[in-house]
Amino acid sequence: MKKIKTAPLAPQEFEVEHISENEANIMAFPFETGYAISLAHPLRRFLLSSSVGYAPIAIKIEGAKHEFDSVRGMLEDISDFILNLKEIRFKLNDEATETEVNYNFTGPCIITGSNLSNDETEVITPDAHLATLNEDSTLNFTIKIAKGIGYVPSEDTHDELEDGYIALDAYFTPVRSVTYKIENVLVEDNPNFERVILNIKTDGQITPLDAFRNSLEVMYAQLAVFNSEISIKAPTTIERVEENPDLKKLTTHIDSLGLSARSFNCLDRSNIKLIGEITLMSTNDLKNVKNLGKKSYDEIVEKVQEFGFAVGADLSDDVVIALKKKIEAGQA
C-alpha cells in the first residue's frame, strides 16, 4: 500500500560544482515530484532580473554632441564607440554606487578594456575593443558608471544628466545565462523523487554562487510580506536536520546492532556508544580499536550495513555536525 504522508519530504542535500570562475552547477535534492520545477523556475527569474551589477549609464566625449557624431582621428564613429563600450564590463571599487571616470588618450593607439582600469574602477573584460586612434589624434571622454539591477533604457536617465552627456541604455545584470534541468533520484525504494540542477554563468562581476545567494535573499524578501501577516515560522536548518530519519538512526545506541558480547565489549570499553560514531570512523580507525579482532571487525561492519550505513559513510555536512554534537553531549 502506498505510504500516506502528512508533509512533503524536505530536501537535505545541496552541492555546488565549480565548472570555471564564472560558471557553476548548483544542485539540491531530493524533492517531491513537481516541487523541483516549482522552485527552479522562480529562482531562474530572480537570478536574471535581480542580480546586482555595474554598467555605464552616460558618456561625455570632447568634440562630440550626439551619438551620430564623429571624432577626428578615431576610426570608429560615436555610435560604434558606444556599442563597444557596452561590451566592456566594469566593477566599482569600495562598494560605490555611482562614479564618474575621466579618460584621456593620444594616438596612435588601440584602446581596450584594460586601458580603462584605474583606482576607481576595475574592468573585468580587459581584451574588449573600444576604439582605434590615428597618429596625432586625441580622445577625451568621461563615463558615468552606476550600480543597479536589470535593464534601464536611456530614456529613463536622460533628464537627470548634465549638458554634454549622452544617455546610454544600461544593462546591469551580471548573470549571462541560467538554465535548469530536473533529474529523478532514488530515495529508499522510490525512484520518483527529483534533483534540480541550476547552471549559472556570469560575466565576472559576481561569482555564480554569490549571484545565487543574492537571488535567494530577494526571493525571501518578497515572500516576507506573507510571513509578517500570517506568522508562519520557517524551520531552521537545525530543526530540519533533527527531523532527518538518518540522524535518528545514527544516534541509536549500539545495543540495537545485536552484536556478540565480545564485539560489543570492545566498542563499549573504547567509549563508542552510538551507531553514528562507527560511521564517522574510517576502516583503519575501527580496526585499531583495542582488542578488536578480525572476526569482531567483520561482524560490526556487517551489522552496521544491515542497519543501512557503512563504516566511513559519506554523510551530509549538516548531519555530521548534528551527530557530533549528539556524541559530545553524551560524553559530557
Domains in the chain: boundaries: 13-51+179-234, 53-171, 242-331
Is pLDDT above 90 for 36?
yes
Listed residue (277, 273, 272) closest to 253, CA to CA: 273
Structural fold of domain 13-51+179-234: Gyrase A; domain 2 (3.30.1360)
pTM over 0.75: no
Provide the total of helices (H) and of strands (E) in the chain, helices listed first: 10, 14
pLDDT grade, residue 67 (50/70/90)?
confident
CA dist., res. 174 & res. 88, Å (int):
12
CA dist., res. 178 & res. 23, Å (int):
10
Contact 135, 109 (CB under 8 A): no
Task: Please say whether the structural domain 242-331 has been given the CATH code 1.10.150.20.
Answer: yes
Contact 215, 43 (CB under 8 A): yes
Q: For residue 271, give the C-alpha cell.
A: 567509549
CA dist., res. 235 & res. 246, Å (int):
18
Q: For residue 308, give the C-alpha cell.
A: 543501512
Local structure of 141: helix, strand or coil: strand
User: Any idea of the CA torsion for 283, 288, 294, 297, to the nearest 10 degrees?
Assistant: -50
Q: What is the pLDDT of residues 211-244, one digit of tens each?
A: 999 999 999 888 888 776 666 555 554 445 455 6
State residue 276's pLDDT score: 83
Is pLDDT above 80 for 318?
no
In the chain, the amino acid numbered 322 is: A
Q: What CATH number belongs to 53-171?
A: 2.170.120.12
- CB-neighbour burial class of residue 182 (10 A; exposed 0-12, middle 13-18, buried 19+): middle
pLDDT grade, residue 332 (50/70/90)?
very low
Listed residue (140, 4, 18) closest to 72, CA to CA: 140
Q: For residue 246, give the C-alpha cell.
A: 538518518
Q: What is the pLDDT of residues 162-185, one digit of tens each?
A: 888 999 999 999 999 999 999 999
Q: For residue 62, give the C-alpha cell.
A: 570632447
Neighbours of 331 (CB within 10 A): 9
Q: What percent of the chain is modeled with pLDDT above 70?
A: 91
